[in-house]
Amino acid sequence: MTNILSGGKHINRRRLLKAAALAGAAGLAAPAIISNARSSSGELNLLNWSDEFPADVLANFEKATGIKVNSTPFSQNEEQINKLQATGGEGFDLVQPTRDRAPQFKELNVLAAFDTGKLKNFGNLQPSFLESSASIWTWDGGLYHLPHLWGTEAISWRTDKWKGDPAKLSYGDLWADDVKGHVQGRPHSLLAGIGLWLDATGKVPSNRLLDAFKDEESFKRIYDEILKVAIEKKPWIKQFWDSADNTKSGLLENDVIIGQTWDGPSLSLKKEGKPVAYQAPVEGAITWLDGLSLTKAAKNIDQVYAFVDFLFTPEASAALAEGSGYNPVITGADEKLSDVAKKNFQEAYPGDALSKLWHRPPEPSWFAELRTQYADRYKSA
């Protein structure tokens, strides 16, 4: 499986490489089962994406260490941010921001930096993923985000109902006449997909939507045009999904034919033999990296480091990917994936699809606020 997420260019490479060297030597030889004194008992309070911790991974960690993981799942970054804002992080030891939300979490001021020297398996992280996190999650001399899983948002469809050509798959296929009333997506993601489509066709040039991140004036100029198309095409929408489970039920139970979705839920259905496919469109799949962050209010510090060390083994990383349908960030994990998972990955990103991935840029607070406003206008239209 190809490693594709490159980090930003402003990282202090000397500091990053020094940290990796200090923690990495022991990590490469670390056993799959963590068994040190700090991980012999206790609990860990985890605020996590609802589909990123398969039950067997948590059960294996508890069996290996005696540490109980108390999981509080969420389905959207906004939900996670609201919980942390309301509590100041109290009640949670480890949380799961997506990479592009770094500016918002820095302002939130509820996180603590990791002491990477406490992680035996820190060196198992693939360097490009570590750099991707460190490039925008390093401030005040500390690293606040460790990679967990990466994935994309692209096009999924019912193979027994959609009659289009996968070789020419486009975000524009969501708005074809033959799927009217049978499309699903998240409002803000559909707006982004429409933006990439309009840019690729030359109708609304936006430097692959990156110009919308420059300032509020540029955002409004571009998104005003996107919103016009989205509202015009709103009769095509069967449902707005808001979770992995909702995505699956749309495809299996709610007469959805095609949609813009995360890869994990759709590829999990495909792996189960359901008539579902998932693929990057010609404009490029929208790419994200979810991570792990320590809260200032964390009470179970030793348990956090034991848990992260466990996750940073090839075996656990592969199990995370296998169970979620997303992709691992640990060296050697891809070799432990099933043949089915490897095949699904290759089919999801055919040809030059990996070179066309659209990486979500860091989102300043003004962008997040405006995007929410436009998504709400779309939903209420």
Give the whole-angstrom CA distance, residue 44 versus residue 289.
23
Question: What is the structure's pLDDT at 4?
Answer: 55
Give the domain CATH number at 357.
3.40.190.10
pLDDT in tens, 105-125: 999 999 999 999 999 999 999
Dihedral, CA of residue 245, residue 170, residue 355 and residue 220, to nearest 10? -80
Residue at 5 is within a domain = no
**Coil, strand or helix at 3:** coil
Question: What is the structure's pLDDT at 2?
Answer: 53
Question: What is the structure's pLDDT at 244?
Answer: 94
Judge if 259 and 275 occupy the same domain.
yes
Judge if 228 and 366 occupy the same domain.
yes
Residue at 26 is within a domain = yes
Question: What is the structure's pLDDT at 1?
Answer: 61
Judge if 242 and 325 occupy the same domain.
no
Judge if 219 and 356 occupy the same domain.
yes
Judge if 159 and 227 occupy the same domain.
yes
Residue at 188 is within a domain = yes
Judge if 216 and 96 occupy the same domain.
no
Judge if 104 and 234 occupy the same domain.
no
Residue at 214 is within a domain = yes
Give yes or no for a contact between 61 and 67, defined as CB atoms under 8 angstroms apart: yes
151's tokens: 């994935």
Question: What is the structure's pLDDT at 308?
Answer: 98
Judge if 113 and 143 occupy the same domain.
yes
pLDDT in tens, 163-203: 999 999 999 999 999 999 999 999 999 999 999 999 999 99
Residue at 7 is within a domain = no
95, HSE (Cβ side, Cα atoms, 13 Å): 33
259's tokens: 């949609």
pLDDT in tens, 25-64: 333 333 444 444 344 469 999 999 999 999 999 999 999 9
Question: What is the structure's pLDDT at 10?
Answer: 35
Please list the ranges in the chain whose pLDDT falls under 70.
Answer: 1-41
Residue at 276 is within a domain = yes
Domain count, the chain: 2
Give the whole-angstrom CA distance, residue 261 versus residue 190.
9
Judge if 89 and 192 occupy the same domain.
no
Give the whole-angstrom CA distance, residue 260 versus residue 262.
7
Q: Whole domain around residue 111: which residue ranges?
A: 13-150+289-344
Judge if 157 and 170 occupy the same domain.
yes
